[in-house]
Structure 1
């Protein structure tokens, strides 16, 4: 009966494996790969779109700052009349042109008539061309130039920051995907164990009916099956939970949440990832990278440029405000043969302002310098943090790769022990209890193997996305 029993057992196990393969194939209708998943996150996730919009906002700030240099065209029309007396009637049009060096140019035409004009007003049409020049404060640097410089630096800051945040989002999404794959493979593992133990229970019951096994063997087989069924249900629940976590990253066009109406399955497995062959190249590539070029550090470097611009602007407050204004006039229908500066038809002014104690200037300048020192400390801290992270991820990656090899060899040994125990059992030299014990060890080793592979891929992803954060 023993050869017959072994033959029947082999047939049953073959049928189980075949059915399980068919079960896996039946799930191919709804599958998603890691690349498809990451592409969907990058193109449709609200945070990814928000980061893109933030860059556009920073670009608009530059346009806004350039607006301080836009020419301004102004016009004025007015009249005053009381009891039939026309005090004045005025028409005015003016063009103001601010320049990069703080010099303001003006050109205007003013037509003024009336019976009650001020003695300083010029009756009739009057053309005017003027210039205002700062001779001390605001000559080398002023608020308009500072705002434009700061907007340019802020754009580079924003681009660096949003790139880092986007990569963090994609890292989180990709690791969530592989955790999902892990839960699916553990669920398949437990399902396979359930099917095998169902067949074993059926075979044990038949051998008991033939009088070849004791009744306690059926209890042993049933207990093992129930144990695996509990683990299968727990694995299924964990897979469903991870599927729901995956759904958080899935969005459709127009920022509509992608509703999963039925379970989806991964088309990528933990065993066929390119990381197993590419991780050494990644380690070599990062070996020559310095954190000075990391986008997180560039963010602080550009921020330092913003603060330096603010410091330069605050330094201008120490200078006296000395502005020279000159206007040349030409009456309508009057043609001048030359352009006298201080001979005829002119107006000039010289305005001086000097804060006596310079308290506001000194305080503002000191605050600007302290902010620069704070940013320098933040930069050093960020570089230290990045160096530590990179070394940690490298060590993790190498260590998990070694663990994979050890775990794989350990699993192979447990499988050999299980096969040997099954052979001894078929020869009547072992017990079902020992087979179950060996099988539990194999399942635990398989789960451990799956878990280590997942940890390896997650460490690989951390390094990979860190590499993406280095500027070219």
Structure 2
């Protein structure tokens, strides 16, 4: 077999040795002109500026607004009304009524301070007051229905619980956005790894083709060898063109998650590259799995949402139980004509137990079908919720264990694949040495080299799947993790 010139063999050996030593890393990324865009960089952009994340923040704000709205039921309320009729020189009536009502949290009572002035020729004697008017202070208390909890306290308690529900929902939505961003990032990583490997393969194949072509021109090799070398260049160039499109598309998907502080979409810089393959592996232990399982069971946003929904139903159930009681409201006011403490007022017109208004109202539906039906409906919802909570807890813990098992499987495959690459590198170096001695062929070198590139691409794929599985593990556990 005709040997290649010494300078060609030396060049091929050095180039191939460099490929073997550095193909598992991204040599192009080591350039000062390229900047690594890490997962941490992605997280900063997504969590600070992504509009979907900002939408999720609105969930908590809306829930807090509903609490403020419910607190409005306990705002003091001031009302006043004036009505007068004067006709034919006769003052038929002159009515003024004003009241300040202060709702009290305790016992659902209402404190009332009022002033009435009803005078005139044709004023109803029941509502007539002395000419200066009639101030009074009183209270209205529900003795039966509404004593322990009423509609306004029920609404406020539920709205406060729903703040926690909204917070859990916010975390869940952010986790979804982040999980998708991480998956897109590692797809971009894989496409870049493929591109770098195939690009170096094209360079190596082209160098080998030039050397073979020159030897063919010198008459030392048959023309068929240069054709074979050129076919290898063409095949890898086609692969490179295909992967280049994939790099661009995955880059666009990552850019989808990037926004600036003003809410404008941002594109990944042209000089941005993902992290190095060797720095991408972060192992997780069985002890960490136990921590994730405990965290998922206690703090998973989906379970938190269900638990807060359960608290809301508990409050609703207590309120509906209160609705089973008869409605009995008692009210009373102490009256006086005193408007200040300097003028004289007869004792029988001054405030005291002898001047008052009292009253009560009572109602009770005999069959209670409406209240009992609503209460039973809430009980059914609670049973359904408890079953759902138990099932969702089981599903979440199973998913966490499943993701962990998948992660460990990828970890084992990566170890084997790394060792296989080392062995393939040895074979390629050996084949190059045999070729230099004239005991091998260009076909075998190309075959060994192509196999090595494929194995390195497989390793990059395993790294990608490992990282996506790691992200899936934390997502299944309900934890935001970079």
| 1:174 alignment partner, one of 179, 182, 187 | 182
Query: Which of these residues, 378, 392, 415, is aligned with residue 402 of structure 2?
Result: 392
* 1:312-359 Cα distance to aligned partner (Å, 9 max, x none): 111222211111121221124636488544xx3222112111112222
Higher mean C-alpha deviation, range 328-337 or range 248-257: 328-337
Paired position in structure 2 for 1:7: 10
Unaligned stretches of 5+ residues in structure 2: 340-344
Following TM superposition, by how much is the alpha carbon of 1:279 offset from its aligned partner in structure 2, in angstroms? 5.1
- CA–CA distance in 2 between the matches of 1:264 and 1:357? 77
Residue 60 of structure 1: aligned partner: 65
Gaps of 5+ in 1: none
C-alpha separation in 1, matches of 2:429 and 2:13: 13
Q: Which moved more, 1:64-73 or 1:263-272?
A: 263-272
Alignment of 1:243-282 (within 5 A): 243-259=251-267, 263-273=270-280, 275-276=282-283, 282=288
Q: What do residues 36-83 of structure 1 show as CA deviations (whole Å, max 9, x unaligned)?
A: 111110000011111112111111211211111111112223322344
Q: Distance in 2 between matches of 1:219 and 1:347?
A: 113
Range that drifts further, 428-437 or 54-63: 428-437
In the alignment, is the contact (CA less than 8 A) between 1:328 and 1:346 conserved in 2? yes
Q: Which residue of 2 aligns with 1:381?
A: 391
Answer yes or no: is 1:135 the counterpart of 2:176: no
Are 2:480 and 1:459 equivalent residues in the alignment? no
Contact 1:33 1:267 (8 Å CA) reproduced: yes
1:90-140 per-residue CA deviation (whole Å, 9 max, x = no partner) reads 333311011111111111112233232112122321012221111111111
Report which stretch shifted further, 329-338 or 143-152.
Answer: 329-338
Call closer, same or farther: CA 1:301–1:148 in 2, change over 3 Å: same
Q: In the alignment, does 2:222 pair up with 1:222?
A: no
Secondary structure at 2:191's aligned position in 1?
helix
- State the alpha-carbon separation in 1 of the partners of residues 261 and 347 from structure 2: 68
Distance 1:271 1:161 in 2: 36
Whole-Å separation in 2 of the counterparts to 1:144 and 1:422: 85
Deviation >4 Å, runs of 4+: 10-18, 20-27, 278-281, 287-290, 335-340, 465-468
Give the distance between the partners of 1:246 and 1:29, measured in 2 at CA.
Answer: 17
TM-aligned CA distance change 1:391 to 1:81, over 3 Å: same
C-alpha distance in structure 2 between counterparts of 1:335 and 1:436, whole Å: 119
Kept after mapping to 1: 8 A contact 2:338/2:351: no
Partner of 1:155: 163
**How far apart, in 1, do the equivalents of 2:84 and 2:35 lie?**
78
Residue 450 (structure 1) aligns with: 460
Matched, 1:115 2:152: no
Aligned alpha-carbon RMSD (Å): 2.7
Residues 1:174 and 1:8: Cα distance change in structure 2 (over 3 Å):
closer
Cα separation, partners in 2 of 1:336 and 1:396, compared to 1, 3 Å: farther
Measured at CA, do residues 264 and 3 of structure 1 come closer, stay the same or move farther in structure 2, by a change above 3 Å? Answer: closer
Structure 1 residue 264 displacement after superposition: 4.5
1:264-288 C-alpha deviation (Å, 9 max, x unpaired) = 5225222113614x55663353365
Distance 1:445 1:4, change over 3 A: same
- The residue aligned with 2:317 is 311
What is the correspondence of 1:204-223 to structure 2 with a 5 Å cutoff? Answer: 204-223=212-231
Q: Which of 96, 101, 104 is equivalent to 1:96?
A: 101
CA distance in 1, matches of 2:27, 2:189: 19
Q: Distance in 2 between matches of 1:122 and 1:322?
A: 28
Q: 1:397 to 1:335 in 2, by over 3 A?
A: farther
TM-score of the superposed pair, with normalisation by structure 2: 0.89
Task: Between 218-227 and 453-462, report the one with greater CA deviation.
Answer: 453-462
Aligned residue pair count: 466
TM-superposed CA distance for 1:9, in Å, is 3.0
Q: Which moved more, 1:331-340 or 1:289-298?
A: 331-340
Structure 2 CA distance for partners of 1:315 and 1:288, relative to 1, 3 Å: closer
